[in-house]
Chains A and B, each alone.
Chain A
Amino acid sequence: MNAAAALGATTEVAPAVLARARRGDPVAFGQVVRHYDSRLRGLAYRMLGSRPAMDDVLQEAYVKAFKALSGFRGESTPGTWLYRIVYRCCIDALRKEARDASDPVGDDWRERPSDPEREPGHVVAQRADLAEALARLPVDQRSALLLIADGLDYAAAADVLGVAPGTVASRASRARAALRSALADGGDQ
């Protein structure tokens, strides 16, 4: 699955809208980001762990994308391109916060209930410590896992992260191993 598909957009944004946005029309660009916002929000939220942080970053990312749109040549899909910018802004935000926060993702992760109705992941998802374990992963592993879990294939995720596909694979795998270990430890307690 490519990034656009993973973003949940059944179709790409209308070319005419994209063209207007590229000419600097802020209204058209607003339509573009609304088209992709749902999954981009998912990435930002799971990376950052709080709504204020997510909104801050997405504000920054979307405006940055708007300003950069004239340089978008269409070799990748707008979805992939936006995914990359949002990811990058998340990274920047985490870096800026890292020194000040012993737990940069906030406590609200731990209190958030999971969805018990989802099968077959509910067995794991209902574990309250999944979010905590996810938040404790190194960012490179966490981001790789989030993208793969979101349905991107290794090549598409590699494109977003700017690394080689094998690196994505190993990061995601290590992330899963860490989650398995963390959940097992939690289960033993």
Chain B
Amino acid sequence: MTYDDSLDAAVRALPVEDHGPGFWAELDQNLDAAAADVRAKRALHADGANGSSAGADERGAQLPGGAGRPAPPAAGPSSGAGGGGGAGAAAGASAPDAPVSSLSDERARRRRANLARVAAVAAAVVVVAVAVVWNGARNDDRQELNVVVDPPAPEAPRPLTLTASYEVTGDNGGGFRLTAADDGSFAWVGTSTDDVTVDLYYDASTGLAVESGVISRGEVASFVTAGVPAGGPDRGIAVPPPLGSLADAVTAMGRAQSGEVEVATFLDRPVWRFDGPIVADALGGDGTPDHAVVDVDQQTGVALSISLRAGDVPVSEVVATSAVVGEGIDRTAFGPVSPITAAADFDRGFAPSTVEAAGGQVGYPVLVPGAVPEGFRLASVTVDTEVPSTTGAEGSNPPVTDIVSMQWRNGFLSFTVTLRPAGEALVTDPFGAEGMRFQAEPQTIELAGRPALEGELVVSPPARPHLWGRTGDTVVTIDGDLTADDLYQAARSLAPATVEESSVTSPPGGEPVGDGPEQFVGLDSGSLSVFSARTGALIAHLTEDGPDPGHSEPVLVGDAAWFIRSDRLCRSSILKVGLGGGLFNEPAVTAGATISGLAVSADSRMVAWVHEPCDGDAVLRTKDLSTGRERSFTLADRSNGDAVVVVGKPSWAPDGRRLALHLTGSRATSSDEGEGFIETRVLDTFTADAAEDGQSLTGTVCSLRQPVYLADGTLVVLTCLIDGEPDRAAAVRFDPATGERLETLFELEGPLQGAGAEAVSAFDLSPDGRHALYEVVDGEGLSNVYRWDGGTPVRVDTTATQPSW
């Protein structure tokens, strides 16, 4: 037993007292009272004429001053309303639990003094913060709100990345290096010499978070959390302090030109400086910070300096020693440098979707804001239908599924709209779980054609600015770098999404073209995506990356899509994502090289790829993911050393051992010119050393291209329909053992333009060989996708390229 084990055992062995006398009797009494309360509320709900009035009555009882007040938060600045809201919020927060609190007079008495003090301080903060933010919103020079969901796409700005180093005093001390991209990705890497150094990486393009490092003395581990939503109360991952809620609050105040912040410089960068009281946040000791001095970089919204004090006593300081903003995103920065040796997968459950598709997934109307601040665009839509979310860290609200999380971004600034089904049990602010009871401004916001949104507005450091509430059977949370006015306007403009409002949907495709696989994967403008195999319509983006860095060569195996991610710095990785909210795993392969020619075996155990270093010769590689064993195969003709090139994607045989490759190169001859060749070979990856060692497949005078193994071990290739007539291409099934041509499956349709099978850039078959997808790039460089289901191939109306199923 280790010392840590002994320590754990000792902690476990600490004595625990039994309940005091009368505990169970008191509980029974409390439960009876609660049951009566629930029954009364149900009766009240049933008596309501509709959801709106019933909801208003119920929430009105819970939120003092909240009922029947459709006014914007401008009503808040008056000291009476603001003070009432602040104090009321403290009382209101516990109102739903009235039977509990009223039955514990001693506890109530003990805490009354504290609540009064906290409420008084916090109410003052709310009065000032809301008033100034709202007044700031009234300034003539403030940017106007545009009532659009999907504005015309402006010219895309160059992506930006902030790189900064920080020193930390207090807490655990030390320091860290922060890399934050304007798509929300970040890397938080410790620089201290502490014996516990866990680094956190979050890649917004994949929803994947990796914690990796020394979690205990001598214990190295990595934890991979998948399905992380872009924002909102359901993320469940830690956030570096410079990106935390305090930075968001100050950013919102700065954007609102609040008098609570002043413009200053830090590290020669313009910052908003907040120097004032905050709601008590720290726990469990005598160092409760109640005052913060924060410098937030105006360009990025990232805090460069955070100083927390309890009275005059410094509690902690996080101070940047350098900060640089540069163009471009090096996505490899958002993954661990060292290999992951042990992964404990953890899934938050959020999978990419679209506004259009989300409604069908969750079963209730997807509300989107019609009014968003200028410059913000919908960046991602994710849906959780599988993993119950507890609604915020430490949340006591009951876990629910069917959550929609949508994020709008404007560079580094962002806000998130989260929808979840309402239940009677959702009683607290979804962000309240992050650490405090906020000073909230009750809101009743009338919505067109829907029950009013009854909720609260919170703009109070250190809370992340947010507005949450319930409209009918839906709980809405809007949070982010938004002013009080922004939040209110966004909430007021909520309306069910229509197809036209979606920014990431494609028009419906053609008529259904037969049975077979329902979905295929492909690329949609550089994003790995799922498409309807029947209509070609885009169903969901699985990644949000554009062309730089690129995603390519998707391969669908079972319910997972594999793909290559690469950047312009000659770094690549092979990744996998589940189609139905499944897990991202750690990269199967990471390489300082260009990767192409991805092939994955049917059992997902073997991968093969062409590995081309920036300054070296390409090789073919295979990896057994069950053991981690890699093999490398020379891609050169042994007789003369000329390079042999793998064209398209190889294909694994069902045995996971043999690999079919389409190769081209030149072979030495007696002449100096040599002789070019195009051929398909079958390589025994257990014994071969070079791609050339593979068995060459013959049987036709035409070249054989794009080999695809079927489940029965036969091989389908594209070749000419008739020997000697290369213009007409066909998919032909061979017996790879004998080279016997077994049957012609179908003749290819499409703009082959005399190039025959050479014009086909991607070809894939269903495992049973009854359905095919292929892509032909025409003379204008446009992609044309065709589907075959046994008859004549039919063109699919789709935005997809590189289809795979």
Give me the interface of A with B, judged by CB distance under 8 Å. Answer: 24-27, 29-30, 33-34, 37, 41-42, 45-46, 51-52, 54-56, 58-60, 62-64, 66-73, 75-76, 81, 84-85, 87-89, 91-92, 94-104, 112-115, 118, 120-125, 127, 130-131, 134, 136-140, 142, 145-146, 148-151, 154-155, 158-159, 161-167, 169-170, 172-174, 176-177, 179-180
List A contacts of B114 (CB < 8 A).
96-97, 99-100
User: Which A residues are CB-close (under 8 A) to B433?
Assistant: 88, 162
A142 CB contact (under 8 Å) in B19, B101, B282, B284: B284
Q: Is B723 an interface residue (CB 8 A)?
A: no
Cα-based distance from A131 to B14 in the complex (angstroms): 7
Residues of chain B touching chain A, judged by Cβ–Cβ distance below 8 Å, are 1, 3-4, 6-20, 23-24, 26-28, 30-32, 34-35, 37-39, 96-97, 99-101, 103-104, 106-107, 110-111, 113-115, 117-118, 172, 195-196, 198, 200, 209, 211-213, 215-217, 219, 221-223, 225, 236-238, 280, 282-286, 288, 344, 346, 387-388, 390, 392-401, 423-427, 433, 435-437
Contacts of B9 in A (CB 8 A): 118, 120-121, 124-125, 149
Residue picked from B13, B115, B236, B392, most chain A C-beta under 10 Å? B13
Name the contact of A164 in the complex, choosing from B37, B172, B211, B400 (C-beta under 8 A).
Answer: B211
When distances are taken between beta carbons in the complex, the residues of chain B under 8 Å from A63 are 27, 30-31, 34, 97, 99-100
- What A residues does B1 contact at CB under 8 A? 120
Known: A94-B284, A97-B114. A51 touches B399 (CB 8 A): no
Q: Is the CB of A155 within 8 A of B344?
A: yes
B396 contacts which of A27, A89, A166 (Cβ < 8 Å)? A89
Counting residue pairs across A and B whose Cβ atoms lie within 8 Å, the total is 295
* B31–A70 touching, CB < 8 Å: no
Contact A145 B34 (CB under 8 A): no
Q: Which residue of A lies closest to B195 (CB)?
A: A177
Q: CA of A149 to CA of B283 in the docked complex: distance in angstroms?
A: 21
Q: Are A173 and B196 in contact (CB under 8 A)?
A: yes
Contact A169 B216 (CB under 8 A): yes
A59 with B27: CB separation less than 8 A: yes
Distance of A92 Cα from B284 Cα, bound (Å): 11
Residues of B within 8 A of A85 (CB): 396
Contact of A91 with B35 in the complex, beta carbons under 8 Å: no
A88, B394: Cβ atoms closer than 8 Å:
yes
CB distance from B426 to the nearest CB of A (A): 7
Which of A62, A96, A122, A166 touches B111 (beta carbons < 8 Å)? A96
Q: Could you show 18 A-B contacts with beta carbons less than 8 Å apart?
A: A55-B20, A58-B27, A67-B96, A71-B423, A73-B399, A75-B399, A85-B396, A91-B394, A95-B436, A99-B280, A120-B1, A151-B12, A154-B344, A163-B237, A170-B198, A172-B216, A173-B216, A177-B217
Task: Find the A residue at minimum CB distance from B396.
Answer: A88
Beta-carbon contact of B282 and A98 below 8 Å: yes
Contact B31 A66 (CB under 8 A): yes
The binding surface of chain B is classed by DSSP as mixed
Measured between alpha carbons, how far is A96 from B400 in the docked complex, in Å? 27
Chain B residues positioned under 8 Å from A169 (CB to CB): 198, 211, 215-216, 221, 223
Looking at the complex, which one of A54, A151, A154 makes contact with B17 (CB distance below 8 Å)? A54
Contact of B35 with A24 in the complex, beta carbons under 8 Å: yes
Determine the distance from Cα of A68 to Cα of B32 in the docked complex, in whole angstroms: 14
**Set A52, A136, A149, A158: member contacting B346, Cβ < 8 A:** A158
Check A104 against B13 for contact (C-beta < 8 Å). no
Determine the residue in chain A with the shortest Cβ distance to B118.
Answer: A99
What residues on A are CB-neighbors of B212 within 8 Å?
Answer: 166
Cβ of A146: which chain B residues have Cβ within 8 Å of it? 11
Q: Is the CB of A30 within 8 A of B393?
A: no
Selected contact of B283 from candidates A68, A127, A139, A155, CB within 8 Å: A139
Task: Determine whether the beta carbon of B395 is less than 8 Å from that of A45.
Answer: no
With a CB–CB cut-off of 8 A, which chain A residues contact B172?
174
| Residues A139 and B399 in contact in the complex (CB < 8 Å), given A26-B35, A29-B31, A124-B7 | no
Taken together as a complex, chains A and B put the C-alpha atoms of A125 and B10 apart, in Å, by: 5
With contact pairs A41-B16, A64-B396 given, residues A75 and B11 touching in the complex (Cβ less than 8 Å): no
Chain B residue at minimal CB-CB distance from A100: B114
In the complex, which of the residues A64, A70, A138 contacts B284, with contact meaning CB atoms closer than 8 Å? A138
- Write the nearest CB–CB distance from A63 to chain B, whole angstroms: 5
| Chain A residues within an 8 Å CB radius of B7 | 121, 124, 149, 176, 179-180
Q: How far is the CB of A57 from chain B (nearest CB, A)?
A: 9
Interface pair B100/A64, CB less than 8 Å apart: yes
Q: Check A162–B12 contact: CB distance below 8 A.
A: no
> B398 touching A71 by the CB < 8 A rule?
yes
Residue in B3, B14, B237, B286 whose beta carbon sits within 8 Å of that of A114 in the complex: B14
Contact between A100 and B113, CB atoms less than 8 A apart:
yes
Known contacts being A24-B35, A24-B38, A149-B11, is A88 close to B395, with CB within 8 Å? yes
- Across-interface contacts of A176 in B (CB, < 8 A): 4, 7-8, 216
A165 to B285: give the CA distance in the assembly, Å.
25
Other-chain residue from B8, B38, B200 in contact with A148 (beta carbon distance below 8 A):
B8
Bound form: Cα–Cα A96–B32 in Å: 26
Residues on A with C-beta less than 8 A from B26 are 59
Q: Complex formed: what's the CA distance from A75 to B344 in Å?
A: 20
Contact between A26 and B32, CB atoms less than 8 A apart: yes
Given A155-B344, A177-B196, A98:B211 Cβ within 8 A: no
Check B390 against A84 for contact (C-beta < 8 Å): yes
* Residue numbers in A under 8 Å from B106 (CB-CB): 52, 56
Residues of B within 8 A of A164 (CB): 209, 211, 223, 225, 236-238, 346
How far in angstroms is the closest Cβ of chain A from B722? 59
Q: How far is the CB of B796 from chain A (nearest CB, A)?
A: 37
Chain B CB within 10 Å — which of A114, A140, A170, A172 has the most? A170
Rank and list the top 7 A-B pairs by shortest CB-CB distance, nearest first.
Answer: A166-B211, A121-B9, A68-B425, A71-B425, A26-B31, A125-B10, A88-B396
Residue among B172, B387, B401 with max Cβ neighbours from chain A (10 Å): B172
- Cα distance A115–B16 when bound, in Å? 11
Contacts of B110 in A (CB 8 A): 97
B116 CB → nearest A CB, Å: 11
**With the chains together, A171 CA to B542 CA distance in Å?**
32
Contact status of A73 and B401, CB under 8 A, knowing A46-B14, A63-B99, A121-B9: yes
- Chain A residue numbers with a CB within 8 Å of B399 are 72-73, 75-76, 81
B198, B222, B426, most chain A CB atoms within 10 A: B198
A120/B6 in contact, CB under 8 A: yes
Give min CB distance, B388 to chain A, whole Å. Answer: 4
Contact B286 A102 (CB under 8 A): yes
For B115, list chain A residues within 8 Å (CB): 96
Tell me if B346 and A66 are in contact (CB < 8 A): no
A127 to B433, CA, bound (A): 35
Chain B nearest CB from A19 CB (Å) reads 15
Residues of A within 8 A of B217 (CB): 173, 177
Cross-chain contact of B30 among A59, A114, A161 (Cβ < 8 A): A59
Q: Which residues on the B side are within 8 Å of A66 (C-beta)? A: 31, 34-35
Nearest-CB distance from A111 to chain B (Å)? 11
Q: Are B20 and A137 in contact (CB under 8 A)?
A: no
List the B side residues contacting A88 at CB < 8 Å: 394-396, 433
13 further A-B pairs in the complex, CB-CB below 8 A; given A33-B27, A121-B9: A24-B39, A46-B14, A59-B104, A63-B27, A63-B31, A91-B283, A99-B117, A103-B286, A113-B15, A118-B13, A136-B285, A137-B284, A164-B225
Q: With A42-B16, A138-B285 given, is the CB distance from A122 to B198 under 8 Å? A: no
Beta-carbon contact of A167 and B19 below 8 Å: no
B189 to chain A, nearest CB (A): 13
Q: Are B283 and A166 in contact (CB under 8 A)?
A: no
Residues of B within 8 A of A120 (CB): 1, 6, 9
Question: A125 and B13 in contact (CB under 8 A), knowing A26-B32, A64-B97?
Answer: yes
**Contact A167 B238, CB 8 Å, known A46-B16, A180-B7:** yes
Smallest beta-carbon distance B395→chain A, Å: 6
How far is A92 from B433 in the complex, measured between Cα atoms in Å? 9
User: Looking at the complex, which one of A56, A115, A145, A163 makes contact with B104 (CB distance below 8 Å)?
Assistant: A56
A94 cross-chain contacts in B, Cβ below 8 A: 283-284
Contact A51 B17 (CB under 8 A): yes
